[in-house]
């Protein structure tokens, strides 16, 4: 017994010293279920800004929810369809990035998916209609792409004019410019300077 007690004591002291060297894992704080429940109720009532925020949470996996891309996308589309500008911008950026990635990996000429180009055009058009000049320029560039299913230099020049940009005479003939300015004229008063 005399030898057993010092051995146990030595073993305990060694274990205590070793345990001090190992970092204690941190426990994540519990999610705020009350706040999440409140946000879900707001989403159920049709609050588009909350839908966009919750979509971002599902995309990144924070705010009391796990990462779920499918739910994130569904909420983002719902918010964008209800007119939320942040959601529309996110969708326009998402499709712009997809189209850029497709073009970067293409071994031949631009081989973007026509569906993805049209999806990008839809969201860019929604934002351009609200008077955002950055998106007017982007929709103009999309209309000028030969691989774009709705390729139309007149529409491209029209959006350039609405964005208060000049149409480059090297890319747009005088006939295209005249037709574009006719189409842009009624819309110029709609967009502030």
Note the pLDDT tens digit of each residue in 69-114: 888 888 888 888 888 888 888 888 776 665 565 445 444 444 567 8
Please tell me the pTM assigned to this model: 0.63
Cβ contacts of 69 within 8 Å, gap of 6 or more: 58, 59
Residue 193 has pLDDT above 60, yes or no: no
* Confidence label for 158 from pLDDT (cuts 50, 70 and 90): very high
In percent, the amount of the chain with pLDDT more than 90 equals 7
Q: What is the pLDDT of residue 192?
A: 62
Of the listed ranges 25-29, 133-137, 138-142, 168-172, the least confidently predicted one is 25-29
Residue 21 has pLDDT above 50, yes or no: yes
Q: 127: closest CA among 154, 98, 87?
A: 87
Q: What is the pLDDT of residue 157?
A: 92
Residue 122 has pLDDT above 80, yes or no: yes
Q: What is the pLDDT of residue 153?
A: 93
Quote the CA–CA distance of 53 and 101 in Å, as a whole number.
26
Q: What is the pLDDT of residue 92?
A: 81
Count Cβ atoms below 10 Å from residue 89 Cβ, excluding itself. 19
Cβ contacts of 31 within 8 Å, gap of 6 or more: 63, 64, 65
Burial class (CB in 10 A: 0-12, 13-18, 19+), 64: middle
């Amino acid at each position: 017994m005399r030898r057993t007690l010092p051995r146990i004591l030595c073993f305990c002291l060694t274990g205590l010293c070793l345990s001090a060297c190992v970092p204690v894992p941190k426990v994540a704080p519990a999610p705020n279920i009350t706040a999440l429940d409140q946000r879900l109720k707001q989403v159920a009532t049709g609050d588009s800004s909350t839908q966009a925020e919750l979509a971002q949470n599902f995309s990144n996996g924070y705010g009391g929810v796990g990462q779920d891309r499918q739910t994130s996308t569904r909420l983002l589309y719902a918010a964008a369809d209800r007119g939320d500008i942040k959601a529309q911008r996110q969708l326009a950026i998402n499709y712009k990035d997809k189209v850029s990635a497709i073009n970067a990996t293409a071994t031949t000429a631009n081989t973007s998916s026509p569906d993805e180009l049209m999806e990008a055009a839809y969201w860019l058009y929604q934002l351009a209609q609200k008077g955002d000049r950055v998106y007017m320029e982007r929709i103009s560039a999309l209309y000028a792409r030969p691989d774009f299913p709705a390729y139309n230099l007149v529409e491209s020049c029209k959006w350039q004019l609405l964005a208060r940009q000049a149409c480059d005479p090297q890319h747009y003939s005088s006939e295209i410019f005249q037709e574009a300015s006719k189409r842009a004229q009624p819309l110029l008063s709609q967009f502030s300077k």
